[in-house]
Structure 1
Amino acid sequence: MQVLKKITITQDFSILETLKIFGTYDGLRLLIVNDLNNNFIGIITEPDIRRGLLSGLKLDDNISSIINKNPIIANIKDSKEYLLSLASQHNIHEIPLMDNNGKITQIISISSLLKTKHYQNNIVIMAGGLGTRLKPLTDTLPKPMLKVGSKPILQIILERFKQQGFRNITLCVNYKSHIIEEYFEDGSKFGLNINYVKEEKRMGTAGALSLIKNIGEHPFFVMNGDILTEIDFSKMLEYHQDQKSDITMGIREFHYQVPYGVVQTDKKGGIVSITEKPNLNFNVSAGIYLLNPSVIHLIPQDTFFDMPNLFNKILCEKRYNTSTYLVTDYWIDIGRHEEYNKANSDIEE
């Protein structure tokens, strides 16, 4: 944030003043231009100044006429892959990132995105479900091993984590677990470190965590093994840490249109209002969570316990910080045949 302040100028800066700032902070090749109320106007680059000088501007003229007011920008939550694609498409080296309030909060350098980070955080994948709604496909295979395109769902999930620098994987398995274990083994052929937790009975989306002997000291992800998403997990981790959260739930916006006119009545049965086929908006769980190891002791041993149970217990405790992280990237929960067919159609596209 300190660097951002140093590369933010106003439109009354002269060309000479602007030139003196270029490249002095982290080698960034663009400057942010705000108005006097700190509202974003645009950006300015050295090529913008070069074109201005060639058109007759002098070094003591201000930059107002050469500001790029329609620059390529991205949202602070956009994935690494999207940012790289944007940079390649427009042949640019830095991209300003804007929050939902219209404020530039960061300048991302494309060269920094190309450097792979390595995280010590553990990834726990719940891969023990019966997949009842996907029968008869799951009569012979556990749901996470159903193929989307040419790869099992679980392999796509794990490769996504690996691409982002997460290598430590724990698979919680139960139904037809031998198929998963024989395919992934210890993970070394996939460039991963995979451990297994075997549920002797169904433990729920949180109960299996009580079986993990050593979760480590870092926040860890818990994710359902039937979700395909293009979320940037590193950004969710950064958000979790910035919020000083003990447990973070990934959420999605869910929209539902009531197919009828909704009638609101008073206590006597009189009509107050009628709304024709209203749209209802909800936040729903995305099946992706971040937990600090300190909350593990809240999970009972050897008992079926779902994530909603854990969140409700944490809320009752009132001494833990909770937060939500809005997942706006591609996301699909492959729970039924319709979603499974859509996932295969999406991957073909």
Structure 2
Amino acid sequence: MTIDGTLGNVCIGPGATVRQALQAIDRGASAIALLTGEDGRLLGVVTDGDIRRGLLRGADLESPVLDFANADPHVVGPAATRPSVLDLMRSLRISEVPVVDDHGVLVGLHTLNDIVGRKPLNNIAVIMAGGRGTRLGALTKDTPKPLMTVADRTIIEWIILGLVESGITRIYVSVAYLADKIEAHLGDGSRLGCRIAYLHEDPATPLNTAGALGLLYHQVENITEPVIVTNADLMVRYNAADLLAFHDAKQAAVTVAARPYTHQVPFGVLEIGADRSISSVVEKPTVEFEISTGIYAVSPEALAMVPYMEPFSMPDLVKACIDSSKNVAAWPIESDWIDVGTPKDLATAKGQ
């Protein structure tokens, strides 16, 4: 997103001429100039196409550009995610979207080049999508859990778009239950800006939460970089590049993305001595843990520890690394996180 000084290059006042608008477009190396008031509020936008059409209608370089500006442009707020902005651009066939705050003040500009021009990463990502989703009951009878929809997209698409936003475009999806539906929906990944291949588990003999990594290690050659591993039922925003940088800095075999989890005991808790005497009572105490979020960075050395075609879990892999004196690190995630495991969780993710 364009901000601060660079943003000023594409801004013009409401009294600007066509010539000044073209100069702003040239300075910003984009196809848009932004009209702002003295208070910083966005008054409109004008594109090179708007100016071209104005000139064809008889305007000249000294004509007021406000005559051709769009006074009601599509905008987004500062919290808009890159995938949502990209969706907006694609649906409207536009290449720039201004960012305004709650008062209409211009604070940034998303451009298509900025969004799709992220630094590419050579790392592979594996999405574990083979589970049956039994806790969702009848909802997953004919539809695999990763294809449940939230905000008009499937959960697995949100995961993939987050990975692509981070620069990861080589993705493997582990499938088993209703695999054909997942493959038909995602295809080769081209419409999501990535390349998707599939790791096939036998639905009759599931490989647990890490077994598919054994398939990856034995079926894909030349894995030399850490692999991002994620469950397919998570609604969470994180930057995979940041996770990988932390993983590298810690020289870890496995890095677990972790977040705080608070639980309030609904009863009075007694501290009882060996003689059964009570020394204290704490009414409904709160305890806090750090929990695994189902997102990991796994080095090739750890991949090699996963057995081939045998059930194996991520806790099994973490324990195996610890038992082998390999470093296992915990990377903190601070954003909201929902494990879509039950109908209640799905309703929460949908904002219901």
TM-score > 0.5, shorter chain as reference:
yes
Q: 2:328 aligns with which of 317, 322, 325?
A: 322
For 2:299, the equivalent position in structure 1 comes to: 292
Contact 2:162 2:239 in 1 (8 A): no
Q: How does 1:5-154 map to 2 (within 5 A)?
A: 89=101, 116-154=118-156
Secondary structure (helix, strand or coil) at the match of 1:210 reads helix
Q: 1:88 to 1:323 in 2, by over 3 A?
A: farther
For 1:178, the equivalent position in structure 2 comes to: 180
Contact 1:79 1:231 in 2 (8 A): no
For 1:102, the equivalent position in structure 2 comes to: none
* Offset of residue 142 of structure 1: 0.6
For 1:302, the equivalent position in structure 2 comes to: 309
Q: 2:171 aligns with which of 153, 158, 169?
A: 169
* Offset of residue 112 of structure 1: 9.0
Q: Deviations over 1:252-301 (max 9, x none)?
A: 11101111110001100011111111000011110000011111121122
For 1:244, the equivalent position in structure 2 comes to: 251
Contact 2:211 2:310 in 1 (8 A): yes
Letter paired with 1:290: A
Alpha-carbon distance between aligned partners in 1 of 2:267 and 2:304, rounded to the nearest angstrom: 46
For 1:53, the equivalent position in structure 2 comes to: none
Secondary structure (helix, strand or coil) at the match of 1:116 reads coil
For 2:279, the equivalent position in structure 1 comes to: 272
Q: 1:114 to 1:139 in 2, by over 3 A?
A: closer
The percentage of aligned residue pairs carrying the same residue is: 30
Contact 2:253 2:321 in 1 (8 A): no
Secondary structure (helix, strand or coil) at the match of 2:302 reads helix
For 2:242, the equivalent position in structure 1 comes to: 235
Contact 2:233 2:340 in 1 (8 A): yes
Comparing 128-137 and 112-121, the one that deviates more: 112-121
Alpha-carbon distance between aligned partners in 2 of 1:161 and 1:239, rounded to the nearest angstrom: 16
For 2:214, the equivalent position in structure 1 comes to: 210
1:336 aligns with 2:338: no
Secondary structure (helix, strand or coil) at the match of 1:305 reads coil
Q: 1:113 to 1:190 in 2, by over 3 A?
A: closer
* Offset of residue 88 of structure 1: 6.2
Q: Deviations over 1:122-170 (max 9, x none)?
A: 0100000000011201000111011112111111111111122110000
Secondary structure (helix, strand or coil) at the match of 1:298 reads coil
1:157 aligns with 2:159: yes
* Offset of residue 91 of structure 1: 6.6
Secondary structure (helix, strand or coil) at the match of 1:267 reads coil
Secondary structure (helix, strand or coil) at the match of 1:144 reads helix
The number of residue pairs the alignment matches comes to 248
Secondary structure (helix, strand or coil) at the match of 1:161 reads helix
Q: 1:272 to 1:79 in 2, by over 3 A?
A: farther
Alpha-carbon distance between aligned partners in 2 of 1:270 and 1:186, rounded to the nearest angstrom: 66
Structure 1 moving runs of 4+ over 4 Å = 78-81, 87-93, 111-115
RMSD: 2.5
Letter paired with 1:329: S
Alpha-carbon distance between aligned partners in 2 of 1:80 and 1:250, rounded to the nearest angstrom: 21
For 1:16, the equivalent position in structure 2 comes to: none
Secondary structure (helix, strand or coil) at the match of 1:299 reads coil
* Offset of residue 80 of structure 1: 8.6
Q: 1:92 to 1:115 in 2, by over 3 A?
A: farther
Q: 1:312 to 1:150 in 2, by over 3 A?
A: same
For 2:62, the equivalent position in structure 1 comes to: none
Q: 1:187 to 1:127 in 2, by over 3 A?
A: same
Contact 1:79 1:232 in 2 (8 A): no
Q: 1:114 to 1:303 in 2, by over 3 A?
A: closer
Gap runs ≥5 in structure 1: 1-77, 94-110
* Offset of residue 177 of structure 1: 0.2
Q: 2:318 aligns with which of 305, 311, 319?
A: 311
Secondary structure (helix, strand or coil) at the match of 1:205 reads coil
Contact 1:247 1:323 in 2 (8 A): yes
Q: 1:250 to 1:175 in 2, by over 3 A?
A: same
Contact 2:262 2:287 in 1 (8 A): yes
For 2:58, the equivalent position in structure 1 comes to: none
Alpha-carbon distance between aligned partners in 1 of 2:168 and 2:100, rounded to the nearest angstrom: 25
Comparing 322-331 and 123-132, the one that deviates more: 322-331
Letter paired with 1:232: N
Alpha-carbon distance between aligned partners in 1 of 2:156 and 2:214, rounded to the nearest angstrom: 22
For 1:33, the equivalent position in structure 2 comes to: none
Q: TM-score, normalised by structure 2?
A: 0.66
Letter paired with 1:224: N
Alpha-carbon distance between aligned partners in 2 of 1:196 and 1:115, rounded to the nearest angstrom: 26
For 1:198, the equivalent position in structure 2 comes to: 200
* Offset of residue 340 of structure 1: 0.1
